[in-house]
Amino acid sequence: MQPHFQNLRKKKIVLIGPPGAGKGTQAVRISELLQIPHISTGNMLREFVKTSEPPGAHLKSCLESGRLVPDETIVEIVNQRLSQEDCREGFVLDGFPRTLPQAEMLDLILKHKHTELDCCLSFSIDFEEVVKRIYHRSQCELRSDDTVEIAQERMRQFDRLTAPLLEYYREQGKILEVSSIGSVDEVFTEIADLLGNRQQPTFNTPKPSHSQKLSKC
């Protein structure tokens, strides 16, 4: 059952969090709640690499190794998708941006469309829970890019690249913190509460990195 809020409106949202944090699951629910498209860059890239052309093969290599797709490629894909009519009033963007330069490019894309991002949902989760979720997902979906080793590489990338990205959005006052610990329904209720404009203060206090948590495992 979805929470109901009288002051919910369509928004332009990005989701940021480590692999296995449940972003994709929650993005689908946010999409249904706000009646905005769910844009999964991961899904778009996986569809793209099904081609036998060299660009597809290169992207497949990036996905299977946990490396980031080149900025020029992912930015072009995102820009094309955001140019479609269904994104005019809002969207939930899952998988982009992942770095500060990508966030700056997203702002430029939206500026050219005479709009801007409304908020960034930042998902937090312990590494032990990530491993459990990644393993479960790999068994259910048979995804070749879902292994513990690839998850570890993505966590290292996340720590290294995402800290300045989160600070960028925090300075804009657009960060909304989401705890991924709990059931899918519990996490979604928290998100709906935040999107219903029940204000949550944000602080600049540094948080332990995921790599620090990883070293304790």
143 is catalytic: yes
Closest CA to 9 of 195, 208, 213: 195
Whether residue 118 contacts residue 174, with contact meaning beta carbons closer than 8 Å, is answered with yes
Where is average pLDDT lowest: 101-105, 112-116, 186-190, 207-211? 207-211
* Per annotation, catalytic residue among 143, 156, 170, 213: 143
The CATH class given to the 12-214 domain equals: alpha beta
Summarize pLDDT for 176-201 with one digit per residue, the tens.
999 988 899 999 999 999 998 644 44
Could you check whether the bond before residue 54 is cis, i.e. omega within 30 degrees of 0?
no
Name the token pair of 209: 């990195």
Name the token pair of 107: 């702002």
98 is catalytic: yes
Closest CA to 182 of 190, 174, 172: 190
198 is catalytic: no
* Per annotation, catalytic residue among 23, 60, 81, 174: 23
Could you tell me where the DSSP H helices lie in the chain? Answer: 23-34, 41-48, 54-65, 71-82, 100-112, 127-141, 148-171, 184-195, 210-215
* Per annotation, catalytic residue among 137, 156, 170, 213: 137
156 is catalytic: no
Whether residue 137 contacts residue 146, with contact meaning beta carbons closer than 8 Å, is answered with yes
pLDDT averaged over every residue in the chain: 80
137 is catalytic: yes
The annotation places the binding site at 20-25, 41, 46, 67-69, 95-98, 102, 137, 143, 154, 182
- Where do the structural domains in the chain lie, given as residue ranges? 12-214
pTM: 0.76
